[in-house]
């Protein structure tokens, strides 16, 4: 049975917030740049590999340092929270641009 670790969950969430924010910021920057490139696939692939490598590195370090299951749960919760925030910000910007 997996023992609950509140500290691992909380630290995974705390470390996950800035990493996830950076991930989605990089996605936005990569998409904007790809729209102006002659070969957007190369830029999108490079952006994806860089962003994914950062998330995987932080996840790996968290699993070495903390109880893996709860650290990954916290990181995943932070990632989904940042995704919700990012999507809502984009939709709000789009609404303001249309009005």
Domain residue ranges of the chain, discontinuous segments joined by +: 7-98
C-alpha to C-alpha distance for 28 and 34, rounded to whole angstroms:
10
Q: What pLDDT was estimated at residue 68?
A: 93
Q: What pLDDT was estimated at residue 99?
A: 74
Give the pLDDT of the chain (99 residues) as one tens digit per residue: 778 999 999 999 999 999 999 999 999 999 999 999 999 999 999 999 999 999 999 999 999 999 999 999 999 999 999 999 999 999 998 889 887
C-alpha to C-alpha distance for 92 and 3, rounded to whole angstroms:
41
Match 């590195």 to its residue by tokens.
57
Beta strands (DSSP E) in 1-99 are none
Q: What pLDDT was estimated at residue 49?
A: 97
C-alpha to C-alpha distance for 65 and 8, rounded to whole angstroms:
9
User: What are the CA-CA distances from residue 30 to residues 26, 46, 47, 51, 75 (Å)?
Assistant: 6, 9, 6, 10, 23
Write down the pTM of the prediction.
0.88
């Amino acid at each position: 049975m997996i023992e609950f670790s509140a500290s691992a969950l909380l630290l995974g969430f705390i470390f996950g917030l800035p990493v996830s924010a950076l991930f989605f910021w990089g996605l936005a920057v990569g998409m904007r740049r790809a729209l102006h490139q002659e070969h957007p696939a190369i830029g999108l692939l490079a952006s994806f590999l860089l962003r994914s490598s950062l998330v995987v590195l932080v996840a790996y370090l968290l699993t070495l340092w903390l109880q893996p299951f709860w650290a990954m749960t916290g990181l995943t919760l932070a990632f989904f929270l940042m995704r919700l925030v990012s999507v809502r910000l984009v939709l709000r910007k789009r609404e303001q641009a249309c009005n």
